[in-house]
Amino acid sequence: ITAYFNGGLRLAIIAAAFTYTISLVATGIAYIKVKNNLIKSLVIPLLPGIGTIVYSASQGGVPRMFIAYIVCVCLAAVYFNKKVTLIYSSIITAILLGLYIINPTSLLGINNGFGEFIPRFGMFVCGSVALYYLTNEGSKHLTEAVNESEKASVLNKNLTEIIRQVNITTESLFENVNKCNDSIKENQQGLTSVTRSIQDISKAVEESAVAVNNVSNYISDSSQLINEAYSISKEVENEFRSTYETILVGAKEADEVMQHLDIMRNSIQSAVSAVTELQEKMDVIGQFLENITNIASQTNLLALNAAIEAARAGESGRGFNVVAEEIRKLADQSSRTAKDIQEITIEAQNTTSNAIEDVQKGNASVEEGFAKIADVMKILGNAKTSIESVNQKLYAEYEMMDKVAERFRNMREHLETLAAASEENSASTQQVLAMTMVQNEAITNTAEMIKKIKELGQTLKDQL
């Protein structure tokens, strides 16, 4: 209508078409299901707001459109969500400022001075701030109203549930009252049986007293047998203790023998090492003697060659011949001496080899003795462990016997108490019989009270 009076029919048609299109799009968005309602709450009022700005710009700037901008802020405030109002106002404010800075004519038309912009923009900002605070307060009141509505709904549900539970309880009360009536009738019928049972109990109490005395005698005999078994176990323990001490002594002796065998094994190993080293030295000596024999043979050959050369020299080589003969004699003597030493060395090597064999046999015997002693130690250890285990079991058996004897003593004391109680119970049966008569009267009174409760329950049910 405003467009019609200000711009004619054509402008009014354009404004109507523009408004209808924006309304149609906003309505379509309203029916779209989205997970984030904040986006929908922003998009729906933004469409007319941005559309109004676009329309104003297309018409060369319409200052009165600032009123439409405030109306669009009111549209955003309808959601009573201060976050939506704040974001929407910030977006429109940023668009208006940017548009005025870029092209003020498209926003205000010809009269686009700063003095024209500030009052309208200030009015828009103040309106937005006022709507923000109104939205904030309205949101609080709306939240309180919703909470109160939810509380009222919960109270209504609770009241309905209470009424339902009362009905259920009333029905259960009727059912239990009927059961109580049946039980009372059964109890009244059972009182006669109880009286007869009390007489039977009196007779049974006398018989149980006799049985208790017999059991007490049996327990006394069993206690004596347990004491005898305890004495025998003590004798077995003493025998095991003596055997255990003997095993400890044997283990100690075997350990000392093992120590001596270890000393012998070390000595034999040292002897084997020494004899082996001696044999190696004898082998070296044999090599030296062989070298000496070779040297003596070569010396003998040289002496023979020297004698031949001296004979060729005649009278002038006679002295050299004498020297060569002496050298040959010394070589023969060295060869014989080396041979004698070699024979002695061979005999010593044979003796050393025999000694090594004997020492190795002795070492093997010592190792075998070591193994035997180790087996003996193992057997003694097993026997020691077995005896310790037997001793532990004997101690456990002593404790069990003590506990059994203690329990027998307690049983005998309890049986004596039970016998005395049986005599008292026999005297109390008459009192119980008198009490059953009183109980019968109490049951009759209870039946009358249950009848009244049933009547009250029916009255409550009728009122509900």
Least confident among 13-17, 146-150, 406-410: 13-17
Per residue in 262-308, pLDDT (tens digit) is 787 777 777 667 767 777 777 777 777 677 778 877 877 777 777 78
- Give dist(CA 193, CA 428) in Å, integer: 18
445 and 324 fall within a common domain: yes
Q: 193 lies in a domain?
A: no
- Give dist(CA 195, CA 293) in Å, integer: 137
3-state secondary structure 257-317: HHHHHHHHHHHHHHHHHHHHHHHHHHHHHHHHHHHHHHHHHHHHHHHHHHHHHHHHHHHHH
Instruction: For residues 355-383, give the mean pLDDT.
Output: 75
Instruction: For residues 5-26, give the mean pLDDT.
Output: 54
Q: 166 lies in a domain?
A: no
- Give dist(CA 148, CA 177) in Å, integer: 42
Computed over every residue of the chain, the mean pLDDT equals 72
b/e sequence 175-206, b meaning 16+ C-beta within 10 Å? ebbeebeebeeebeeeeeeeeeebeebbeebe
279 and 150 fall within a common domain: no
Residues 6+ apart with CB under 8 A from 69: 49, 52, 53, 92, 96, 124
176 or 398, which is more confident: 176
DSSP structural state of residue 32: S
Last residue of a domain, one of 113, 142, 161: 161
275 and 418 fall within a common domain: yes
Tally the domains of the chain.
2
152 and 203 fall within a common domain: no
Last residue of a domain, one of 161, 180, 207: 161
Percent of the chain with pLDDT over 70: 67
| Residue 380, domain CATH | 1.10.287.950
260 and 157 fall within a common domain: no
294 or 40, which is more confident: 294
Q: 442 lies in a domain?
A: yes
149 and 208 fall within a common domain: no
CB atoms within 10 A of CB 19: 15
Give the CA distances from residue 313 to residues 289, 310, 321, 327, in Å, rounded to whole numbers and listed in that order. Answer: 35, 5, 10, 18
End-to-end CA distance of the chain: 63
401 and 265 fall within a common domain: yes
pLDDT at residue 344 above 80? Answer: yes
Asked whether 397 and 243 are in contact (CB, 8 A), the reply is no
Range of the domain at 381: 198-459
258 and 391 fall within a common domain: yes
Percent of the chain with pLDDT over 90: 0
What is the band of 23 on the pLDDT scale with cuts at 50, 70, 90?
Answer: low
294 and 387 fall within a common domain: yes
Per residue in 106-164, pLDDT (tens digit) is 777 777 677 777 887 887 888 788 888 888 887 777 777 767 777 777 777 876 777 77
202 and 157 fall within a common domain: no
pLDDT at residue 406 above 70? Answer: yes
pLDDT at residue 56 above 80? Answer: no
Total count of residues recorded for the chain? 464
Give Cα 299 to chain centroid, integer Å.
Answer: 95
- Give dist(CA 214, CA 219) in Å, integer: 9
Instruction: For residues 336-363, give the mean pLDDT.
Output: 77
Q: Which two tokens stand for residue 11?
A: 């402008």
Q: 60 lies in a domain?
A: yes
215 and 353 fall within a common domain: yes
- Give dist(CA 230, CA 236) in Å, integer: 10
Last residue of a domain, one of 113, 146, 161: 161
pLDDT at residue 327 above 80? Answer: no
Q: 370 lies in a domain?
A: yes
Instruction: For residues 234-263, give the mean pLDDT.
Output: 74
Instruction: For residues 12-24, give the mean pLDDT.
Output: 55
Q: 387 lies in a domain?
A: yes
372 and 454 fall within a common domain: yes
Q: Can you give the pLDDT at residue 133?
A: 83
Q: Can you give the pLDDT at residue 461?
A: 65
Q: 179 lies in a domain?
A: no
- Give dist(CA 80, CA 71) in Å, integer: 15
pLDDT at residue 1 above 60? Answer: no
Per residue in 411-439, pLDDT (tens digit) is 777 767 876 776 676 677 667 667 777 77
Least confident among 15-29, 86-100, 380-394: 15-29
CB atoms within 10 A of CB 238: 10
Q: Can you give the pLDDT at residue 433?
A: 63
Q: 29 lies in a domain?
A: yes
- Give dist(CA 184, CA 192) in Å, integer: 13
Instruction: For residues 53-60, give the mean pLDDT.
Output: 73
